[in-house]
Amino acid sequence: MTKLLFMISLLLAPNEIWTNDMTDQQKCQAEADYMAKNRMFCHVGPCIGRFEGIGWSQSNCIPQTCTPKYKMNLTGDAISMTNDGIIIRVRSWR
């Protein structure tokens, strides 16, 4: 229940993970780092760009993410790793 309340507070609180003056690549890296630090395997802030995909993997491979249905340009692609080796990936499109 506590984790659920924390996740809800992230949606209601101002975004403190990244700022609007950052590039999409910087936003993706900040979000991936935040997710890894807090072991959160879900979207944790406003959508980066027009479409955002996240993924994670416990193996040594880079995880897949959702991709947009319509043609868009990839504007950010970042990975980060938790302390116990889970790889997190965040990608954005416009």
Q: What is the pTM of this model?
A: 0.83
4: its two tokens = 């659920």
Q: What are 39-63's pLDDT values in tens digits?
A: 999 999 899 999 999 999 998 889 9
**What does the pLDDT read at residue 37?**
94
42 contacts 32 by C-beta, under 8 angstroms: no
19: its two tokens = 């700022």
pLDDT over 50 at 12, yes or no: no
**What does the pLDDT read at residue 11?**
53
**What does the pLDDT read at residue 59?**
80
**What does the pLDDT read at residue 45?**
86
86 contacts 58 by C-beta, under 8 angstroms: yes
pLDDT over 70 at 34, yes or no: yes
∠ Cα 79 81 83 (to 5°): 170
Mark 73-86 as b/e (b = at least 16 C-beta within 10 Å).
ebbbbbbbebeeeb
